[in-house]
Amino acid sequence: MLEIQPITGFPLLASSSLKIAIMFGVLMLAVAYATLAERKISAFIQDRVGPNRVGPLGLLQPIADGLKNLVKEEAVPGSASKFYFMLGPMMAMVPALMTFAVIPFAAPLPTPWGVVDMIIADVPIGILYILALSSLGVYGIVIGGWASNNKYAFLGALRASAQMVSYEVALGLSLLVVLMLAGNVTLTEIVWQQQQSNLWFVLPLSLGFILFMISAFAETNRLPFDMPEAESELITGFHTEYSAMKFSMFFIAEYSHMLTASALMATLFFGGWDLPGSWDDAFWYQGELIRGFDASGAPIAASPAVWKTLLTFAGFAVKTAFFLVLYIWVRWTVPRFRYDQVMQLGWKVMLPTALAYVMVVAGTILVLDQVGVSGFAFGMTLTGVSALCTVAFVFVLDRGRIIQGAAAGRRAASSKGASAPRQEVLAHD
Amino acid sequence: MAVTTKVIRRPDPGTTSYLRSALKGMALTLRHMLNPKTVTQQYPEEQTDLSPRWRGTHRMEVHDDGRPKCVACGLCPTVCPANCIRLVGGEDDQGNRYPIVFEIDEFRCIFCGMCQEVCPVEAIHVGLDYENAEYTRKRFVYDLDRLMQQDHPTALLWDPADPDSE
């Protein structure tokens, strides 16, 4: 029986370095294979085959892509601002990779030197760190687009900044409900709270999850919000002038943002590495690794095991992969919004909905606390309230209001009194 | 021509739902994603079925003893609308005419097939072939030897009595 003590001293340093190296490798591999998944799934959706020439089933395609981008010529436009042109892709990529540091990815791992937390840096500011870094990513896009000295790149960068600012607000507000329920900003604590209440936050905070997911799509510049790229309008937007590895770095940044957003959705709303049942629960409570509390409130010691770590990591990977596939699936289904529709959705739909939802959740928690409801009944009541909010959101707001865009007011004014459906006349000669 | 109007009924924007139609679209793409049927033709392994009247690069028919069937009558360079055939005729001891130079510039050729149509001895043909890639532009001027070496099937001429080639 190994002693259940947190790892300290030199082994802590070694294990942290090892975790960073391994997670960086896993992340880069996952990003590479996310590009393959993107191409394969888009192919399947369009009844095509997808890449199938490099390796069995095209599985070596990402390596071929990477090698090709490494040996290609780096073209820097003559009129570009060279320093910032170089800085852009770096600033896009680094924050995208750094965000992953605070996401717990498995149950604690017991080793002969102590128990290792399966998180790179369990910083006390958790979600604040993620919010700060993920909005830093837009600077890479803006600097890259501006330094290119290209009107399309500039327009893409301009759109990126406006879109980020708009959706950051709704993203933050939809996170607020999670923080209220968990009572803490560290992600380990949020996972622990979900384990303790035997309820993943997606149920008591269903509308929060929907708002977070929509905002996350906008934050990662994925369709239907890929305004900064918008191939058909802006060539490829902010990275029009980029080639070879710098272009690749923008791509890595986009996919690692996707990966982080997927992992966040899994962690905040789907229990993170938690699997159903309390056998895998583990949390550092006053220096002890515990699994929960018994009826008298005394802590029950957890028993970490290697197989538990592996199994919970698999659970985390499956949840993250699900959202990654969802990202790709949505991208190849839904067409791009118009720019005014993006702004309208962000400011006139998402922001008020998120604000109202925060008020509703706060009020419900307050009332439940005053009445003295706790435990499972607490979660179920909140689930009911959230379900009502979701139904209201979908059935009341989603009546042409989500994508009406800037022309909405004018159209409503001009068609007032006319009961006939709007008609458009096409002339043929 | 008279102007006709087509009225497209648009649903009232106040009653349409974005989410519902987006979910409907996702269901459709999911069905396609899971359906293993593909429409891709795996080209180098699978070749396209060509029409028997496909007009590709030329070939010259040869006699059993290896001489070209061409009698250097000069009809094909005359009829060629792209002026891509260069023919220098000669005559042997028995008075048989034969081509000394017969070159077709496949870059100039418009593949109308009139050379095949006009040939009195059925010597020059367009053929069922489309894999013509070369490393240099010079290689696209096919000389007599090259034309005689081509071995793909020759194209079927359009027959007015059988317009659909059945």
> CATH number, domain at B68?
3.30.70.3270
For chain B, what percent of residues have pLDDT higher than 70?
95
- Domain enclosing residue A203, as ranges: 9-406
CA distance B147 to chain A (A): 34
CB contact under 8 A, A334 and B12: no
CB contact under 8 A, B3 and A427: yes
CB contact under 8 A, B30 and A329: yes
d(CA B124, CA B113): 10
Number of domains in chain B: 1
Helix and strand totals (H; E) in chain A: 14, 6
Predicted local confidence at residue A170, as pLDDT: 87
Predicted local confidence at residue B80, as pLDDT: 92
Nearest CB among B10, B17, B32 relative to A398 is that of B17
Query: Does some domain include residue A3?
Result: no
Chain B residues with CB under 8 Å of A397 CB are none
Query: Does some domain include residue B28?
Result: no
Query: Does some domain include residue B139?
Result: yes
CB contact B25 to A (< 8 Å): yes
Residue B28, pLDDT above cutoff 60: yes
Query: Does some domain include residue B90?
Result: yes
Q: A with B: how many residue pairs have Cβ under 8 Å apart?
A: 85
CB contact A418 to B (< 8 Å): no
Burial A208-235 (b: 16+ CB within 10 A, else e): bbbbbbbbbbbbbbbbbbbbbbbeeebb
Q: Which of B36, B42, B32 is nearest to A52 (CA)?
A: B42
CB contact A47 to B (< 8 Å): yes
CB contact B41 to A (< 8 Å): no
List the pLDDT tens digit at each of the 429 positions of chain A.
445 777 777 888 888 888 889 888 988 889 989 999 999 999 989 888 888 888 888 888 888 988 998 898 888 888 888 888 888 888 888 888 888 888 888 888 877 777 777 888 888 888 888 888 877 888 888 888 888 888 888 888 888 888 888 888 888 888 888 888 888 888 888 888 888 777 888 888 888 898 899 888 888 888 788 877 777 788 887 888 888 888 888 888 889 888 888 988 898 888 888 887 777 777 777 777 777 777 777 777 777 778 888 888 888 899 999 999 999 999 889 888 888 888 888 888 888 888 999 998 888 888 888 887 777 777 787 888 888 888 888 777 776 666 665 555 555 555 444 444 444 444 444
For residues A324 and A331, the answer to whether their CB atoms sit within 8 Å is no
Chain A residues with CB under 8 Å of B29 CB are 45, 329, 332-333
Residue B8, pLDDT above cutoff 90: no
CB contact A423 to B (< 8 Å): yes
Q: From the CA atom positions of chain B, what is the Rg in Å?
A: 26
For residues A248 and A193, the answer to whether their CB atoms sit within 8 Å is no
What is the greatest pairwise CA distance in chain A?
87
Q: B26, B28, B29, B39: best mutation site toward chain A, by most A Cβ within 10 Å?
A: B29
Q: Which of A146, A142, A182, A193 is nearest to A165 (CA)?
A: A142
CB contact under 8 A, A402 and B33: no
A369: Cβ contacts below 8 Å, ≥ 6 apart:
none
CB contact B22 to A (< 8 Å): yes
Query: HEC profile for chain B?
Result: CCCEEEEEECCCCCCCCHHHHHHHHHHHHHHHHHCCCCCCCCCCCCCCCCCCCCCCCEEECECCCCCECCCCCCHHHHHCCCCCEEEEEEECCCCCEEEEEEEEECCCCCCCCHHHHHCCCCCEEEECCCCCCCCCCHHHEECHHHHHHCCCCECCCCECCECCCC
Burial A268-286 (b: 16+ CB within 10 A, else e): bbbbbbbbeeeebbbbbee
Is the C-alpha dihedral spanning B104, B108, B112, B115 positive or negative?
negative
Task: Find tokens 């996702």 and name the residue.
Answer: B26
Q: Which of A159, A137, A168, A164 is nearest to A257 (CA)?
A: A137
d(CA A289, CA A115): 9
CA distance B152 to chain A (A): 28
Beta bridge partners of residue A300, listed in sequence order: A292
CB contact B27 to A (< 8 Å): no
Query: Does some domain include residue A92?
Result: yes
CB-CB neighbours of A158 under 10 Å: 17
Phi, psi for A53 (deg, rounded to 5): -100, -35
d(CA A205, CA A401): 23
Chain A residues with CB under 8 Å of B45 CB are none
Question: Closest chain B residue to A405 measured between Cα atoms?
Answer: B13
CB contact B4 to A (< 8 Å): yes
DSSP 8-state code for residue A72: S
Task: Give the H or E element holding residue A387.
Answer: helix A376-392
Task: Find tokens 């390796």 and name the residue.
Answer: A55
CB contact B39 to A (< 8 Å): yes
For residues A6 and A115, the answer to whether their CB atoms sit within 8 Å is yes
Predicted local confidence at residue B165, as pLDDT: 62
CB contact under 8 A, B14 and A399: yes
Query: Does some domain include residue B49?
Result: no
Chain B residues with CB under 8 Å of A47 CB are 32, 35, 37-40
Query: Does some domain include residue A223?
Result: yes
| DSSP 3-state of A104 | coil
d(CA A18, CA B49): 57
pLDDT digits (tens, 9 = 90+) for B95-143: 888 899 999 999 999 998 899 989 999 899 998 888 888 899 999 999 8
Query: Does some domain include residue B44?
Result: no
Chain B residues with CB under 8 Å of A418 CB are none
- Kindly write down the DSSP assignment for every residue of A214-267, as one continuous string: HHHHHHTT-TTS-TTT-HHHHTTGGGTT--HHHHHHHHHHHHHHHHHHHHHHHH
The two three-digit tokens of residue B9, written as one number: 């009924």
A275 sits in the region (left: phi over 0; alpha: psi -120 to 50; else beta) called beta
d(CA A129, CA A381): 31
Query: Which 313-342 residues of chain A touch chain B by CB within 8 A?
Result: 329-330, 332-334
- C-alpha angle with apex A222: A82 to A272, nearest 5 degrees? 110
For residues B67 and B158, the answer to whether their CB atoms sit within 8 Å is no
d(CA A179, CA A168): 16
Nearest CB among B6, B33, B42 relative to A426 is that of B6
CB contact under 8 A, A329 and B26: yes
Chain A residues with CB under 8 Å of B42 CB are 49
Nearest CB among B6, B17, B29 relative to A332 is that of B29
Bridge pairing between strands A423-428 and A299-301: unpaired
- Domain enclosing residue B89, as ranges: 58-149
CB contact under 8 A, A334 and B19: no
ipTM of the complex: 0.72
d(CA A95, CA A256): 9
Number of domains in chain A: 1
d(CA A425, CA B4): 10
